[in-house]
Each structure stands twice: as C-alpha cells, then as structure tokens.
Amino acid sequence: MPSPRSQASSRLFSQSEYEKLAEFRYQLAQFLRRRMDAARAEGLQPQQYEMLLAVAGLPAQRRPTIKEIAGQLRLEHHTVVELADRLEVQGLLSRRTSANDKRAVLVQLTPSGRAVLGRIVRFSYSQLRDEGPTLIRSLRRVLDRQKRS
C-alpha cells in the first residue's frame, strides 16, 4: 500500500476539502460504531464479529484458513488464532484439519455462530438502508473534489 508521502503533491487543500474529508470520516466512524455496538449487544467483541463475517463472507473458491482470514482482517496470524480460540469456546466457530493439506486448519461457523452473525447482519442491512444515503452523499462530496483536481 502506498504511503501518504509517496502520493504527496505540492497542491494545498482548501478548508472545504478538509471539511468534506472530515465529514466522511465522521460518517464512516458512526456507521462502524453502530456495528461494534451491535456486536457487543450480542456478547461479541468487535473483532470477533468481524472474524465471523469474514468467515461467512469468504468467496466459495477461497479456503477459510486462519491465514486467509488473517489476510482478510489485516491481522497477525496469532491474533486470529486467539480470536478463533475465543469464538470456539463460545460455540460460535469450529476448526478442523484440511483433508487436502494436514497443515492447514479450516474454520467454519457453527449454527449458533450463524444465528448471532445473522442478527448483526440483519441490523446492519436495516441500518444501511437508513444510513447509506448519507454515507454515499458524503463520499460523493469527497470524490467530486478529486474529479476537479
């Protein structure tokens, strides 16, 4: 991923541009905060919810290994192992050794994990219907600036 310095430009930004980007950051943070609160209401830490979502949302052609999920979540392998341990104790996730590669551990949601995730996702989609237009408007304002520069 390029660093902000590698994309540096001599062009300064206007107060309006800073305001638009700050507003988008605020709207996105609000959206994400509500997901974290919904996860906590279900007895999950936000990263646990994100792991369940990453496992459930992994495309069928990709194997749900700890390594793959770590990449999806942009977390260290050992952090995802710890998340899997906690989710397994809660009965929300199970692990098994891959039949094709005995070194690989595959993870999958249990029926309880699917139920918990389903409630949070249902809430998320409901909220997106309400919040989506504001998020999109805010993002468009930021992107409109990019078209003109």
What's 85's domain CATH number?
Answer: 1.10.10.10
Q: Which domain holds residue 117?
A: 14-148
Beta strand ranges found along the chain (DSSP E): 93-97, 105-109
Q: In whole angstroms, what is the distance from residue 52 CA to residue 45 CA?
A: 11
Domain assignment present for residue 32? The answer is yes
Taking only the tens place, the pLDDT of each residue in 115-137 is 999 999 999 999 999 999 999 99
Phi, psi of 105 (to 5 degrees): -105, 125
Residue 5 lies in a domain: no
Is residue 138 one of the residues assigned to a domain? yes
Question: CA–CA separation, 106 vs 63, rounded Å?
Answer: 7
| Segment 64-78, tens digit of pLDDT | 999 999 999 999 999
Q: For position 98, what pLDDT does the model report?
A: 87
Is there a domain that residue 8 lies in? no
Segment 75-101 mean pLDDT: 95
From 13, 7, 58, select the one nearest 148 (Cα to Cα). Answer: 13
Number of domains in the chain: 1
Question: Is 48 a member of any domain?
Answer: yes
* Whether the predicted pLDDT of 101 surpasses 90: no
What pLDDT is recorded for position 12? 85
